[in-house]
């Protein structure tokens, strides 16, 4: 099995033809490193240097075990040939080893749909989830005992977002830019190497736990998709970067405080991502959820630009929660069936019940997001965006009137 090859034309100081070969002594591996050089121009040498193009150099790396070797070749008379890139298998194995008990928080440097190194670091972080969940439960229980809750504050029961009408507004936004044609896009996935590892990786990491090489018991990943795990854990902003997040934030920072609505975020991200709806929703999700556990988020300049999208008796805390829950659920709804996406968001709501207590508005926003994403997908597939909307189509998709009469009486 050839796993690396490299060839180059280089000038040499003298004519040469050679073949060198070396095999490893590692048991169970048949590894061969070979290099060869040959003169292409067989005319008599009258110069002190054979010119580029007259000499060929080739390096081959072969093995029966793709995880066995890596290395670099220094080409004597031809000079340094540089370090050979690691194969995807070696890249994944190296990162999996480096990520053991590391304090490094891996973040993609740019847009990359398949990322073997990121997969390895993600798997290690997923193994930490049970321990972090236990710590969060303890912290949440402790905070409930000390936190003062205003008796005046009431969480609403009405749906804050009307998804059918929101879809009308999104169609209107798409039609504002006829030069851009919307499409679903491609999601982030496990690399082929990682996909194979998922079949036996739990036992591999269990061995590391038993021998004391790692402190976290491995999490059974159950062959779940990468996107599902990223959204469930809030890791998309680190392991599924679009490289458009900063540009989107800069655009939104030009809006007046409290003015940004859902369709505004969609529009700006849609333009940046040139109609790719997966990246449109993912960019918004990453930007909104980049610091979900920071305690002073209510002082963040960006969240002050956002409108309040919950039905509460009064605004409470920062506005990010409802926003990134909506876009995350919409992203999953765009790529999965309506039943699957709604089942997932309801399961997430059940988990939040233990960590944060009951929050009907968060659940309603999650369900609305999944429903919107699914309807957006159907709208694109049926090309409804290309048809003009009736003039009387309703575009007022927010329903925040549950406490309207109460507030009006108080005035």
Residue 358: both structure tokens together: 């009951």
Residue 78 pLDDT:
44
User: Does the pLDDT value for residue 19 go beyond 50?
Assistant: no
Residue 76: both structure tokens together: 């004597």
User: Does the pLDDT value for residue 353 go beyond 70?
Assistant: no
What whole-number distance in Å separates Cα of residue 259 and Cα of residue 253? 11
Mean pLDDT along residues 250-256: 97
What whole-number distance in Å separates Cα of residue 155 and Cα of residue 376? 28
User: Does the pLDDT value for residue 357 go beyond 70?
Assistant: no
Name the more confident of 228 and 393. 228
126 confidence band (pLDDT: 50, 70, 90)? very high
> What are 187-235's pLDDT values in tens digits?
999 999 999 999 999 999 999 999 999 989 999 888 899 999 999 888 9
Residue 59 pLDDT:
46
Edge-to-edge strand list for the sheet holding 31-39: 2-9, 55-63, 31-39, 18-23
Residue 404 pLDDT:
62
Q: Calculate the average pLDDT of the chain.
A: 78
Residue 356 pLDDT:
52
162 confidence band (pLDDT: 50, 70, 90)? very high
13 confidence band (pLDDT: 50, 70, 90)? very low
Residue 7 pLDDT:
47
What whole-number distance in Å separates Cα of residue 113 and Cα of residue 194? 13
> What are 171-194's pLDDT values in tens digits?
999 999 999 999 999 999 999 999
Counting residues of the chain whose pLDDT is more than 70, the rounded percentage is 69
User: Does the pLDDT value for residue 303 go beyond 80?
Assistant: yes
262's CB contacts (< 8 A; 6+ apart) are: 161, 166, 309, 326, 397
Mean pLDDT along residues 341-346: 76
Residue entry with tokens 């659920």: 329
User: Does the pLDDT value for residue 248 go beyond 60?
Assistant: yes
174's CB contacts (< 8 A; 6+ apart) are: 180, 182, 270, 385
Judged by average pLDDT, the poorest of 16-20, 103-107, 280-284 is 16-20
User: Does the pLDDT value for residue 39 go beyond 60?
Assistant: no
Judged by average pLDDT, the poorest of 82-96, 130-144, 164-178, 335-349 is 130-144
> What are 55-95's pLDDT values in tens digits?
444 445 444 444 443 444 444 444 444 456 778 889 999 99
Name the more confident of 89 and 140. 89
CB 39 within 8 A of CB 55: yes
Domain definitions of the chain by residue range: 2-83, 153-187+240-410
CB 165 within 8 A of CB 405: no
Residue 96: both structure tokens together: 């999996």
């Amino acid at each position: 099995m050839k796993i690396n090859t490299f060839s180059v034309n280089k000038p040499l100081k003298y004519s040469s033809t050679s073949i060198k070969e070396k095999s490893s002594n590692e048991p169970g591996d048949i590894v061969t490193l070979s290099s060869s050089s040959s003169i292409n121009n067989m005319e008599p040498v009258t110069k002190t240097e054979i010119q580029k193009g007259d000499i060929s150099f080739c390096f081959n790396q072969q093995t029966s075990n793709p995880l066995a070797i890596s290395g670099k070749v220094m080409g004597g008379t031809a000079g340094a040939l540089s370090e050979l890139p690691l194969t995807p298998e070696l890249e994944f194995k190296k990162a999996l080893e480096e990520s053991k008990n590391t304090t490094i928080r891996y973040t993609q440097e740019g847009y990359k749909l398949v990322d073997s190194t990121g997969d390895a670091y993600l798997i290690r972080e997923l193994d930490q989830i049970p321990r972090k969940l236990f710590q969060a439960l303890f912290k949440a229980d402790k905070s409930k005992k000390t936190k003062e809750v205003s008796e005046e504050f009431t969480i609403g029961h009405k749906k804050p977002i009307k998804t059918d009408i929101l879809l009308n507004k999104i169609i209107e936004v798409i039609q504002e830019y006829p030069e851009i044609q919307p499409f679903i896009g491609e999601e982030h996935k496990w690399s082929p190497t990682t996909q194979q590892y998922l079949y036996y990786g739990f036992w591999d990491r269990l061995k590391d736990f038993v021998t004391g090489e790692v402190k976290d018991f491995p999490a059974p990943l159950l062959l779940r998709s990468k996107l599902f795990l990223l959204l469930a854990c809030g890791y998309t902003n680190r392991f599924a970067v679009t490289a458009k997040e900063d540009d989107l934030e800069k655009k939104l920072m030009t809006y007046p405080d409290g003015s940004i609505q859902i369709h505004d975020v969609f529009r700006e991200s849609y333009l940046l991502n040139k109609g790719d709806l997966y990246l449109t929703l993912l960019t918004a999700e990453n930007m909104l959820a980049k610091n979900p556990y920071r305690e002073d988020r209510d002082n963040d300049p960006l969240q002050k630009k956002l409108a309040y999208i919950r039905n509460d008796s009064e605004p409470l805390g920062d506005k990010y929660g409802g926003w990134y829950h909506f876009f995350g659920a919409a992203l999953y709804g765009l790529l999965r069936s309506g039943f699957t996406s709604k089942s997932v968001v309801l399961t997430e709501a059940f988990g939040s019940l233990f960590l944060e207590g009951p929050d009907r508005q968060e659940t309603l926003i999650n369900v609305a997001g999944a429903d919107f994403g699914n309807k957006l997908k159907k709208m694109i597939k049926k090309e409804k965006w290309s048809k003009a909307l009736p003039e009387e189509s309703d575009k007022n998709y927010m329903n925040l009137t549950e406490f309207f009469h109460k507030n009006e009486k108080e005035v």
